[in-house]
Amino acid sequence: MSGSHTANKVIVVDDQPNAAPALQRTIPGYPIQGAWSRPITAYADANSDGVLTASEVTVAADWAYIGPVLPTNDMQASSTFHFFNRRVGVTTLFDYRAGNYHQFGGGSDRCNGGSAREANDPATPLDLQAACIARTNASLGSSLWGYIKPADFIKLREASITAEIPRSLWGLSRLPTGTIALTGRNLSTLWTKYPGLDPEAGGQFNDNWIVPPLRSFLARINFTF
């Protein structure tokens, strides 16, 4: 098992101003590539009809820091088990990453296009309705605050099974020994806080229109002479 915790803080950025309001910013006093947006400060269903409107959502005028884009906590746990007098081995690798934020771009776009649940279903929780209203109303700054989400996850990153090929299978003891192995990678997300398809889709920040890490399988035969 291995793990790490990473923290950083920007000291100087060559005295250059921010080019324009951006969701990722590198600002002195904050981590590299911090996530920023105008925060949703309040929402309330004033008429108790279960449906929020723009007048029932408040968004701050100033942008605020949400959190780092790069993971701050990382841990891997690997284990190997042997069976049948060590003729068969099973190896697993679990991957944990946390402490960073990711833009749920797919959800944001569905909201903006009017097809998201929070844009249509009155039974949607009010916090999700507020996120969509802030996203789609220019009077609220078209804030993406509600669509920048924690990207913590635990994944079964890899698993493999290796079996010895007995010499008796060849019928001749002079032939080489061998093994056959099957390996799978990116097998399953066991737990995540992220509401989108995959917390790693889109690399560091935005999952919109991006294929997540692909699941792959590899079969291999090895001979020892």
Domain with 202 in it? 2-224
pLDDT digits (tens, 9 = 90+) for 57-80: 999 999 999 999 999 999 999 999
Give the per-residue pLDDT at 202. 74
185 in Cβ contact with 157 (< 8 Å)? yes
Give the per-residue pLDDT at 165. 84
Mean pLDDT of 50-56: 94
Q: How far apart are CA 52 and CA 216, in angstroms?
A: 44
Q: How far apart are CA 218 and CA 158, in angstroms?
A: 11
3-state helix, strand, coil in the chain (%, to 5): 15, 40, 45
Q: How far apart are CA 68 and CA 151, in angstroms?
A: 10
What is the pTM (predicted TM-score) of this model? 0.86
Q: How many domains does the chain have?
A: 1
Check whether 16 has a pLDDT greater than 70. Answer: no
R_g (Cα) of the chain, nearest Å: 25
pLDDT digits (tens, 9 = 90+) for 147-169: 999 999 999 999 999 998 876 66
Give the per-residue pLDDT at 41. 97
Helix (H, G, I), strand (E, B) or coil at 62: coil
